[in-house]
Structure 1
Amino acid sequence: MMEKSIFIILIFLSIHGYLALPAKDETEENNLYPSTTSGKTSSILRDILNQESLVRFSMVQKIQNLVMDAIDSKNNTEILKNKLVYLGKELNALEAMDQRLEQDNAKLQQELSAIYERINDTQNHSLASIQRLNDTEIYLLKRQFLALRRENEVVKLENLKMKEQLNVDVNTARNETSTLKVQYEKLLQKNEAFESNLHRMEKEIKSTNIDSRLMMIEDKFSNFSRAVDKALNDIRKDQNATNIQKLSFLSAVNSDGGSVVAFTAYASSGKDYNSEPIIFNSVITNEGGAYNSNTGIFTSPAVGVYVFTWTHLTRYGQYCHAYLSKNGTIQNIDAHTNLSGLSSGVYTMATMSGTLHLSKGDRVWIQANHCYGFLGAPYNSFSGWKL
């Protein structure tokens, strides 16, 4: 029931974001009352509308506070319940340990009594034998007897300490349990008050006419979707223009008829990467055949200076690090995007470039590190060429 009420309140909050439209309301109010209406009546009506807007705004703030209090109360209740269960288990374990210690103490007392009985029996039945013993044997028997007495005293002290500690632990656990019970009862009272407020707010929401506001929300969402589509199309056009500029630059650089080494590729589909090369599997240009579309790795065919550039688009709620790597060593050039925590319909693009001096056989690729929300074609590319 609480989840349903919270859902209704969230809808109510979304709707109230569009309730304050002063210009439109004033126009409609002017249309409702003809020009013959006195200025005083119009002023009173505007004051009433302003007061209603203030009341609605105050209601929204109260609902938000109630929702936050409900979430905090629910979390605190769960924590207290878990702690109560944990303390209950500890208390049962301590009581079980107390019982075992009492049993061990009783066994030790029985053994000590048996030792005393054996000693008394030995003394009573062996007086004559003891008198016949020499001084050395008597001295050894006395030492053994004293050692037994000391061991018995040590055992008694240890048992006493363990019992005192057990009593302290049990009392502490009981005090904590009592405190938690009081806190739990307070939370229950707060929850009851919150549920009462939710029922009251639910009745107020049901009594409000929201059909027209819902239609306005749907219109605004449609406009927002169209704006997002337009932005994505603009991004595609910009990327295509960038690729054309790259190819034009390559043609100008190699117009002298020398050996051309250049490539451009893109990933046809998106996926999540983590500590691995990003594979741009679809090749647009691969002059010299130095780029491997299966591994995403460029292998230098000759010594020289090479330029690399790469681009990627990340969707809402995700982030991505895309580094330039040479022979497995990160070059600290990162095309980084971060949209963590943002809602749907938001995208961001990152583009980086770098120049490396390569020997023949050196390998270069784009190394992903926690790259999530990586979108496929046409929102990414990896290019390189030899100067």
Structure 2
Amino acid sequence: MKILLHLILIVGSYSLSTEKKEENHDGSSKVSTVLNEILNRESLVRLSMVQKMQTLMLGAVEAKQRDETLKENLENIEKELQAIRDGHEKYREENQKVQENLRNDIRQLQEIQAGAIDDLKNIYWNFSLIVNETCKSEQVQKIQSQLQSGLLKEIPGNYAFYAQLTTSTSDNDVIFEDVITNEGSAYNGNTGIFTCKYSDSYAFSWTIATSNHRYTEAELIVNDEVIGSSGTDSRSHSDTADSSTGFVVCNLKIGDKVRVAINGTADGIYSTFSGWRIGENYSSFYAKATSTLYKPFSSLHGLPFQSVVVNNGYVYDSDNGTFTCPTDGLYVFVCTFEARDGKGFPVYFHHEGSKLSAIPIQPDASSGKYADTSSTLQIFSMSRGDEIYLYPTDSDSAIQPVHSTFSGWRISSASKISAFMAYTSIDLSSSPMKYNKELLDTTSSFMSSYFQAPEDGVYLFFWHMHANDIRLESFLQVNDRTVGQTIGDATSSAYEGSSNLAILRLRKNDRVKITHDGTADEDQTMISGYLLFN
């Protein structure tokens, strides 16, 4: 019985133990299941994060590749741009070489021509000896004279003249008989004719004054061809005098003859004629307006003077009215504008859309005048590639053709050659003139009220006076001696400009000044000048 009881107890204990083990096993299984779920979720999160990181890394790699591709494209573009720059520079150098070769060819042709002339001269003299021995007829002598005139010898040198008209003259060639300067003796005060002694580029200026309600047309004639013209109008009911100044640049050959002819009356003293050799600098031009010029649409373009008579060095572009500087140096620009039909407007020299000078050129026919002209001569220091052009500020500007011109040339590549330019920004009645705005003075020779010659030489002077409601005369003086005059009457026309140009041989320390007999109006009243040669 005891054994049985022990067996029952042992079996019960085993059963209880087995049940507890089963309960423990079930608990462990649940924990394991939860842990597995957590691990599975963490793995999914990690897998998702890995996938995202891989995506980001792929994106970064692709971005880097795009950056490298873009950088490579930019480098290629830069190489192409540099190739274009190199090609442009090469073209510019080649163009310069072509121009230089052309200049050399021209010089060689001139030398060949000179040699041929010498040969022809020898042939002529031999022919002349034979003819003289056989015949003395007038016909043969005429042939000899014609041959000799065609065999004139080139005489290099500095040529410049300045002459005044002493008494009034009408409807004829004008003989400016008071010859003040005649360097090279190429101007004849008895005939009023300049005869070219050396083939080259020359500039000419003439001023014609008229009075008593007359209109005078003047022409500058080379041989029998009209190269330039100007109009002087004193027809207003109260004005008693007016003057106008014209400019031309022309290429002359030995023997060419230059003169001024008028249709109307030129008054003495105020009417003058000047000319000077520019020199072989291949950077001069002369252009005329053949139709009315209006304000350009863009301030980056100038008035396009359509007829380009002279363009040495191809420096002037008539399509956009622009002069492009070929080499560094000092340059002179001259122009004359004519207004009609009651119009008056200012025109300025411009560079890259801005005024290069505060001095306007302003013809004014707005009050009582049938026609009015205004002229200027301004000097600028320029660098190669600089552009300069004329631009009117008024929208209704209308520049008349024929008498309106634009010219320019290089003075010198040396920056220290004596040159100056000044104007007054205030009305001035005191005399002599005091120009309070100095724009240029390369040798510190201009002292507000006078110019003092820094060295012996031949100098050019241009001055412009502007009157407001008065008659105004001015006097160019050297050491208090009058050598040039202007006259302008604005009694009824409100405003009137007058100008003149003189070429004078000065000694060192000679003083040049402007005196006047009335109030000079601001801005347009100016003076400029430079050394032509020693």
TM-score (norm 1): 0.36
The structure where strand makes up a greater share of residues is 2
The structure carrying a bigger helix percent of its residues is: 1
Larger Rg, first or second structure (1 or 2): 2
